[in-house]
Amino acid sequence: MELFPESVTKLWNEWELRALVLLSLFLQIVLILLGNRRKYIASNWVRIIIWLAYLAADWIAAVCIGVLSNENGDDNSSQPNSLIWAFWAPFLLLHLGGPDTITAYSLEDNELWLRHFLALVIQFGGTFYIFLRSWKSKLLNILAIPIFVAGLIKYGERTWVLRSASSEQFRDALLPRPDPGPNYPKFMDEYTSGKAEGYQVSIQQRGKTSRTVHSPPEGDILQQAYYFFETFKGLFADIILSSQRRKRSQSFFQGKHSEQVLEVTLKVAFEVVEIELGFMYDVLYTKATVTCSRWGSLLRSISLSFTISAFIAFLTIDRQEYSTIDVIITYLLLVGAIVLEIYAILVLLFSDWTKRWSSKNKNTAVQLIIKAISRFQLRFLFPTNQRWSKTMAQYNLIDFCLKPRPIKVRVLQKFHIYQIFEKYYHKNLAVFSEEMKKLIFEYLVEISKSASDIEAGKQLCTGRGDLVLLEKLGLSNNEDFSHSILLWHIATDLCYENDAEKNPDCKACKVLSDYMLYLLVMCPFMLPDGIGEIRYRDSCAEAKEFFKDRKHIKSRTQACKDLLRVSTEFPASQVKGDRSKSLLFDACRLAKSLQSREHKWELMRGVWVEMLCYAASQCRPNQHAKQLRRGGELLTHVWLLMAHLDVRENFQISQGNAKGGIIVS
């Protein structure tokens, strides 16, 4: 008994290969259009679409090559359709090479470059087998050769870029050449022989020598950003930078001038950092390192010219013996390959890499081309000046406990992924405002100037809001970092809803509070280790229980007022012991103690900015790199800005590079 009717089976056999080839082309279009946009779009849906397209693209192309191999191995391989189908095989190599805008979906893909190299060898062998089996000494067979070369170039580029961006290769490329230093045996031989001959021999240092460190270029912000990118990209590989580089960066970013100049420096500082991180994203996740090189330009010219020549030649050959559908699909593959290649060139033309190159080399022709294309207002195709999302994710504990739950799906609950969907359902976005930039930048500049030595810098980096508490209230917090975040988040919410007037400090505290809780709940891997998830879940459970018993609570304002009415004469820990890690009513106690303070929002602002900077300094570099593909993360920008201002624990190495010389008298 047949599972499918004969007509369905016949239709599938006829359209299987055609559908797969068209799907492969469609996935390439999706990837080239959306691949680079995840750099500045924080939408979960965009990430899901790119993830599905990225995983499916290689699989579909590999399946197509397998189907083509079977078709050419059958007795029907001598039919005209089999010949034009075999012509499609090199296009699948092009598709396996992937678009320039995305080579790796995640950092882990770069580590699998050896697997991609093996796949390159296998898929190349498969397409070459198809090419040989279909050889009929016809013009169509000859036309496959330039496409074959173009596909091999594209696939080879992808494998090379993945290898270059892998952690081991990336770090090795940044390390300086091995330096054996002065010849110690020769030095000591001269010293010993001089002493043996009766001379008075002494050793004196000749002075310090070091590798040349150039100053940041004047004027063009792209040139300045690229200079700092080349200088600081070693941070992503856990490489400690020299004091010379540190001092040049610090003097540039501190802006020791008047208030008016500080505003200019504020704007420039954040723009330089976002351009740097844009360069870093391109290095880790795209083909920028190849396409922006001379060899890359040469290979791009070869692949594009070969594809165009194959298209022109296909227009001239006799196509009568082939199916009309197959001819149309072939046209789509040829035109699609050319259009995707041209689009990739245009994307490169609008990139910071090209703008920086044209500015450096005073290439007015490229600048005129960019201006001419910009007049067409094709912002969807070529979005300019967008390097990250410029948003701060927001997550609020009281909102989470008050809002109605999304519809529970039994299947999701069974596989324990309902909680994940529930968290994303309650996540919001806030714009990273100019006021927030000023708040963070002024704080970092102030502590950068006050940190006179390494130990002072370390002390400032390890502050978790404790320094502000110690200065203003004479208090300190010995609990882990998650305790501080959750305690101050709830207290900030209670104070915010209880204040009738919302001043700028009040709003800034609210945004930072919700952002830090988002990191605790959604990105715990970016924060120091602790029991944050347990504290959060216990606090949520207690809050839900509290609101459940009070049916009249319909809003956050009412919820906060009811929480503040609860008597907190005794600490909650004395009642609960170690049974629950909830901080709900400990936060109520803190909020009540803050209510009587005249400048409570100034105090809380200092606490939140200090906690933000502490979190940024404690996050591992590879976690910062991972966030670049998710629309960017404010924490990453703060981390790099702290590095530029020398507000880091592991940022300096000493200048012990003097040479010794022998003095004979």
| Cβ density class 579-606: b for 16+ within 10 Å, e for less | ebbbbbbbbbbbbbebeeeeebbebbbb
Q: What is the pLDDT of residue 653?
A: 42
Tokens matching residue 17 = 């290969």
CB 245 within 8 A of CB 590: no
Spatial CA neighbour of 546 closest among 588, 515, 517:
588
Spatial CA neighbour of 84 closest among 22, 10, 125, 140:
140
Cα torsion for 368, 369, 372, 374, to the nearest 10°?
-110
Spatial CA neighbour of 90 closest among 142, 137, 139:
142
Segment 168-225, tens digit of pLDDT: 999 998 887 887 777 778 777 777 787 777 777 677 665 555 555 555 555 578 998 9
Q: What is the pLDDT of residue 205?
A: 61
Model-level pTM?
0.89
CA distances to 297, 300, 367 from 348, in Å: 11, 12, 13
**Residue 559, C-beta contacts closer than 8 angstroms, at least 6 positions apart:** 398, 402, 497, 547, 553
- CA angle (499, 500, 501) in 5-degree steps: 95
End-to-end CA distance of the chain: 106
d(CA 72, CA 78): 8
- In the chain, where are the structural domains located? 6-172+288-329, 192-286+444-454+619-665, 391-432+463-617
Q: What is the pLDDT of residue 377?
A: 58
Q: What is the pLDDT of residue 479?
A: 75
Of the chain, the percentage scoring pLDDT greater than 70 comes to 82
Q: What is the pLDDT of residue 433?
A: 93
Q: What is the pLDDT of residue 500?
A: 63
Q: What is the pLDDT of residue 407?
A: 62
**Helix (H/G/I), strand (E/B), else coil: 321:** coil
H-type alpha helices, 462-555: 466-472, 481-498, 504-522, 532-548
Q: Which residues of the chain have pLDDT under 50?
A: 257-258, 260, 470, 472-476, 650-658, 665
- Strand pairing of 658-664 and 201-208? antiparallel
Looking from the CA of 120 toward its CB, the CA atoms found within 13 Å total 21
Q: What is the pLDDT of residue 179?
A: 75
